[in-house]
C-alpha cells in the first residue's frame, strides 16, 4: 500500500511523525516520533503507519528525508536502515539529529550540506558503517566542518583499528565552491575556512582538532543480537535498543520510554514488555 507523501514549502509545519516506510528488497525507514520542519521544502512521511513499497525490487531506496532550506528540522527517535543514503539536507540551519539509529545504509549514513554559519546539531545517535563492499565510504559527508556540532554519538565500524576508518568527510576548497555556485551561497567568509580541500578524518583526529565531544567508537550491542534467522525487514524498534552499558549510561540511541504508546509488531509485545526485555 503506497504511503502518503507530504511537502511543506514556506509555511510552518510542526507535526510529530509516526511512520513506517519499507522497501521489500532495499530498505526500512521508520519514524515514530519527532519529525518536524519549519519553512522551506521537505519531502518525507508523516502521521501514519503503513507500508511504502518502492522501486519494485529494482534500483535504490531513498533516505528518510530529503530537505532544502528548512530551518529547525528535527529528526528524533528514528531508525534508518539499508537506504542508498540515510538522509540528505541542503541549507538547513538548526538541523537536529537526536537519539536516532543509522544502520548499514549503502553509501553514507547522512549527507548534510550547510553554509559555515548554519549550525547543525547531532547528539546521542548511533551510526554504523555501510555494506562491506562500501567499507571505505564515509559515514558522514558534511558540507562544512564549521557548521557541525557533534556530541555524545556512538559509532560502530567495520574497520579495525577504528583509527583506520576516516568516517568524516568535510568539504573544502573546490568541493565547497561547487556547492556555493550551485546554491548561490556567499564565499566571502568572516574568517578563512578550516579546510582548503576535501578532507577525511577519523574520530580521534576530529576530536584532536575540535575537542572532546563525548563521542566514541563501540558496539552498541543491539537487542537483536542472538536472534537467529531474523531478517532486517522483521526488525522493529525494540530490536535496536542498545544494551552496551556505556551507550545506555549516556542515553545514546532510541529512548524506550518515548515508545510507551507505540504499537510494535506482534512478536515484540507491548512497549513496556519490550523495554523490560531490553534491560541489560
Q: pLDDT tens for residues 227-267?
A: 555 566 677 788 889 999 999 999 999 998 888 777 676 65
Which residues are bridge partners to 37 per DSSP? 13
pLDDT digits over 95-113, tens only?
A: 999 999 998 888 889 999 9
Which strands make up the sheet holding 199-201, listed edge to edge? Answer: 140-142, 168-170, 199-201
Backbone CA torsion sign across 189, 192, 194, 199: positive
Is residue 185 in a domain?
yes
- Residues 78-107 have a mean pLDDT of 87
Q: Which domain holds residue 238?
A: 232-274
Which strands make up the sheet holding 120-123, listed edge to edge? Answer: 12-13, 36-38, 71-76, 95-98, 120-123, 148-151
Which residue among 191, 217, 243 closes a domain? 217
Is residue 194 in a domain?
yes
Nearest to 83 by CA among 67, 112, 106, 51: 106
pTM: 0.77
Q: How confident is the model at residue 27 (pLDDT cuts 50, 70, 90)?
A: very low
pLDDT above 90 (res 170): yes
pLDDT above 80 (res 276): no
59, 83 Cβ separation under 8 angstroms: no
Written as one string, the DSSP assignment of 101-112 is EEE--SSBSBEE
Judge if 137 and 67 occupy the same domain: yes
Residue 31 pLDDT: 44
- In angstroms, the CA 83 to CA 29 distance is 8
Residue indicated by cell numbers 547522512:
110
Residue 147 pLDDT: 95
Among 19-28, 32-41, 165-174, which range has the highest average pLDDT?
Answer: 165-174
Judge if 208 and 146 occupy the same domain: yes
User: Residue 82 corresponds to which cell in the numbers above?
Assistant: 539499508
Residue 274 pLDDT: 41
Which residue among 217, 241, 264 closes a domain? 217
- Percent of the chain at pLDDT > 90 equals 35
Domain count along the chain: 2
Amino acid at each position: 500500500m503506497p504511503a502518503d507523501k507530504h511537502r511543506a514549502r514556506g509555511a510552518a509545519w510542526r507535526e510529530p511523525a509516526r511512520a513506517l516506510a519499507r522497501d521489500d528488497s532495499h530498505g526500512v525507514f521508520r519514524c515514530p516520533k519527532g519529525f518536524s520542519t519549519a519553512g522551506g521544502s521537505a519531502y518525507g512521511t508523516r502521521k501514519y503507519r503503513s507500508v511504502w513499497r518502492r522501486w519494485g525490487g529494482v534500483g535504490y531506496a531513498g533516505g528518510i528525508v530529503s530537505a532544502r532550506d528548512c530551518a529547525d528540522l528535527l529528526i528524533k527517535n528514528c531508525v534508518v536502515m539499508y537506504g542508498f543514503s540515510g538522509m540528505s539536507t541542503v541549507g538547513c540551519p538548526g538541523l537536529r539529529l537526536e537519539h536516532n539509529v543509522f544502520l548499514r545504509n549503502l553509501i553514507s549514513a547522512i549527507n548534510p550540506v550547510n553554509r559555515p554559519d548554519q549550525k547543525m546539531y547531532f547528539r546521542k545517535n548511533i551510526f554504523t558503517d555501510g555494506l562491506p563492499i562500501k567499507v571505505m565510504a564515509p559515514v558522514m559527508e558534511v558540507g562544512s566542518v564549521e557548521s557541525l556540532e557533534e556530541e555524545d554519538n556512538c559509532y560502530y565500524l567495520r574497520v579495525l583499528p577504528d583509527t583506520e576508518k576516516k568516517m568524516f568527510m568535510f568539504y573544502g576548497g573546490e568541493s565547497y565552491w561547487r556547492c556555493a555556485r550551485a546554491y548561490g551561497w556567499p564565499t566571502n567568509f568572516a574568517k578563512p575556512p578550516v579546510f582548503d580541500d576535501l578532507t577525511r578524518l577519523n574520530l580521534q583526529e576530529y576530536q584532536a582538532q575540535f575537542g572532546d565531544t563525548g563521542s566514541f567508537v563501540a558496539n552498541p550491542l543491539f537487542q537483536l543480537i542472538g536472534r537467529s534467522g531474523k531478517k532486517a525487514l522483521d526488525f522493529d524498534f525494540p530490536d535496536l535498543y542498545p544494551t552496551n552499558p556505556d551507550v545506555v549510561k549516556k542515553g545514546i540511541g532510541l529512548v524506550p520510554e518515548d515508545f510507551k504508546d507505540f504499537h510494535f509488531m506482534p512478536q515484540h509485545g507491548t512497549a513496556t514488555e519490550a523495554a523490560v526485555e531490553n534491560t541489560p
